[in-house]
Amino acid sequence: MDLLTRILFTILGLFIIVNWGLLMTAIMRKLTARVGRRVGIRWYQPWINLVKLYSNRNSIQHGVMFQLGPVFRLLGGVGIVMFMPLIYGSELFSNFSFAGDLVIILYIKFFGMLGMALGAGEGGHPYSAIGVSRGLSQVTTVELPFTLAIIALAVQYNTLSLEEIVAAQQGGIMNWTLFTNPVATLAALLSMLGIFMHSPFNLHKAPNEIPIGPPTEYHSSYLGILRTNAAILHVIEAILFMNLFFGGATSWPILIVKTFLIYFVSIFVGVVFPRFRIEQSVSWFLRVPLALGIVAIILIL
């Protein structure tokens, strides 16, 4: 397959992901609102927001890094898409996953985080720095059980290639990691709550304290890019979990159903539990999730 076709299909995949991400965000917000006995937003509100943000003509900037922040951020989100095989068995939708395995996905995620943090930093708003420090703090312990789970998987399937991990889960629901390695899956799912950064793990943007945290200074098309990226991230991270633990997807509809359900878990928890303080959330991940992660490792020793 020549490069051009690959690029075009990657863009197509990206387009689907962005739109599904926006829709999924809308649905979840609607659900959350209903739980709180509110009406909630219209299902197409995210698109309206984006259009408004991108077409804002007034904008200011604080410097080069401030402008590059959203670039890095989006680079992180799109980067994951680039290296993620979306549909199992589809050469067209495996994107550029031949250039690197699971490890690159784990690390390129942080690229966006770092970019956001840097851009927010140059914005110079105190809340941005506070938000970043909380977010980074939480990420450290969130990732630990997740990584242990991934190590357990890598040993179980004897590969770090996502493609092969998905392949190994084909042939029936009982082949999913969820059932072949429930401990690791559970550890990863608990970590996932922190990865999605919904309540109770959303102190970094803590809507009532430090308005929206890191992106406080961002507006117009800068914020548009960040919003676009958020939509991508929600879906692509759900796809990562899907590939790792839930058998992957052989077609787009399956992908949509599975990512919705995975994402729903974190929303569900968020609706039920109030927000943690940062030292609470940092240590929370070092208790049950970490213990599960260690158990997962011990099981493969």
Partner 1 sequence: MVEPIYIVASGLGIAFLLGLFRKTGESLPGLIMLLTLAFMTFVSGQWLISLMFEGGTPQYTYTAGFKPPFSINLLMGQSEAVITTMVNGVGLLGGLYLLDRLKAQGVNSMIVFLLLFVGLNVVVMTRDLFNLFVFLEVSSVAIVGLVLLERSTQSLSAGFKYLLATALISGILLIGIILIYQYAGSLYIDDLVRANLTAVKGGMVAVFLILIAVALELKPFPANGWGLDLYQGAHPGLGALVSGGFATAMVFVLYKLLPMAGGGWQYMMATLGAVTFIGSNLLGIKQGHAKRLLGYSSVGQIGLLMIVVGLSQHLGEALTAIACGLLVSHFLAKSGLFWLAGIIQKDGLRDWAVLRKKPFLLVLFGTFIFALVGFPPFPSFFAKWELIMQLSAAEGFAWAGIVLFGSLLEGIYLFRWLGYSIKLDHQELPSFRLPWQKILPVGISGVALYILGYFATPIASGAGSLSYLPLAFIVLVFLLDFLPARVKNVLSLAGMAFYGYMIMPGLYENDGLRFLFSIIFVIGGILTLLPGFAYTGKRRGFYPAALLMFAGLGQLLTAETLLQFFFAWELMTVGSYILIIRGKRSMRHGYTYMLFSVGGAFLMLAGFGIAYATSGMTSLEALGQVTQWAGWASALIAIGFMTKTATLGLHIWLPGAHAEAESDVSPMVSAILLKAGVFGLLLLFISMGAESAGSKPLFYVLGWLGAITALIANLTAVFQEDAKRLLAYSSIGQLGYILFAFAIMTHVGWLAGFTYTINHFMYKAILFLVVGGIVMRLKTHNMYEMGGLIKRMPYSFIAVLIGIIALSGLPPLSGFAGKWLFYNAGIEKGWYLQGGVVFFSGIIAFLYLYRLIHSVFLGQLKDRHRTVKEISPWFLVPAYVLILGIMAFSANPEWFLKPFGQITAPYFPDSQLTWQSDGTAVGQLGYWNGTQVMAIVMALFVAITLWLIMLNRNAKKVKQFNIVYAAESPETPETTHISYNLYAGYNKALGVLTRPGITGLWNWISEAVTELADQVRRIYSGNGQTYVLHVLTYVVIVYLITTGGL
Residue span binding partner 1 (CB under 8 A) among the ranges 43-51, 77-85, 177-185, 265-273: 77-85
Least Å distance, CB 192 to partner 1, is 16
Total of chain residues touching partner 1, rule CB under 8 A: 81
- The nearer residue to partner 1, 125 or 234, going by C-beta atoms, is 125
Candidates 82, 184, 206, 238: give the one binding partner 1 (CB under 8 A).
Answer: 82
- The nearer residue to partner 1, 103 or 288, going by C-beta atoms, is 103
- The nearer residue to partner 1, 30 or 62, going by C-beta atoms, is 62
Least Å distance, CB 42 to partner 1, is 25
Are 120 and 216 in contact by the 8 Å Cβ rule? The answer is yes
Under the binding rule (CB under 8 A), the answer on residue 152 touching partner 1 is yes
Under the binding rule (CB under 8 A), the answer on residue 67 touching partner 1 is yes
Least Å distance, CB 167 to partner 1, is 15
* Eight-class DSSP state of 169: T
Backbone φ, ψ for residue 150 (5° rounding): -65, -40
Least Å distance, CB 201 to partner 1, is 13
Residues 5-44 that bind partner 1 (CB under 8 A): none
Instruction: Name, in order, each residue with C-beta under 8 angstroms of 235's C-beta and a sequence gap of 6 or more.
Output: 17, 20, 21, 24, 259, 263
Q: Which of 103, 92, 97, 250 is nearest to 163 (CA)?
A: 97
Residues 116-135 that bind partner 1 (CB under 8 A): 117-118, 121-126, 129-130, 132-134
Under the binding rule (CB under 8 A), the answer on residue 158 touching partner 1 is yes
Least Å distance, CB 153 to partner 1, is 10
Cα distances (Å, whole numbers) of residue 256 to 25, 63, 222, 245, 252: 13, 39, 28, 15, 6
Residues 229-268 that bind partner 1 (CB under 8 A): none
What sign does the dihedral 225-81-196-129 (CA atoms) show? negative
- The nearer residue to partner 1, 28 or 186, going by C-beta atoms, is 186
Are 214 and 116 in contact by the 8 Å Cβ rule? The answer is yes
- The nearer residue to partner 1, 28 or 225, going by C-beta atoms, is 225
Where do we find the tokens 């970590």? Answer: 191
- The nearer residue to partner 1, 27 or 118, going by C-beta atoms, is 118
What sign does the dihedral 55-57-58-63 (CA atoms) show? positive
- The nearer residue to partner 1, 69 or 247, going by C-beta atoms, is 69
Q: Would you call 265 exposed, middle or buried from its count of C-beta atoms within 10 A (0-12, 13-18, 19+)?
A: middle
Under the binding rule (CB under 8 A), the answer on residue 225 touching partner 1 is yes
Under the binding rule (CB under 8 A), the answer on residue 190 touching partner 1 is no
Candidates 221, 252, 254, 256: give the one binding partner 1 (CB under 8 A).
Answer: 221
In three-state form (DSSP H/G/I as H, E/B as E, the rest C), the secondary structure along 230-290 is: HHHHHHHHHHHHHHHHCCCCCCHHHHHHHHHHHHHHHHHHHHHCCCCCHHHHHHHCCCHHH
Under the binding rule (CB under 8 A), the answer on residue 277 touching partner 1 is yes
Are 1 and 93 in contact by the 8 Å Cβ rule? The answer is no
Under the binding rule (CB under 8 A), the answer on residue 45 touching partner 1 is no
Q: Count the neighbouring beta carbons within 10 Å of the beta carbon of residue 78.
A: 21
Residue span binding partner 1 (CB under 8 A) among the ranges 23-31, 155-163, 234-242, 243-251: 155-163
Q: Count the neighbouring beta carbons within 10 Å of the beta carbon of residue 103.
A: 12
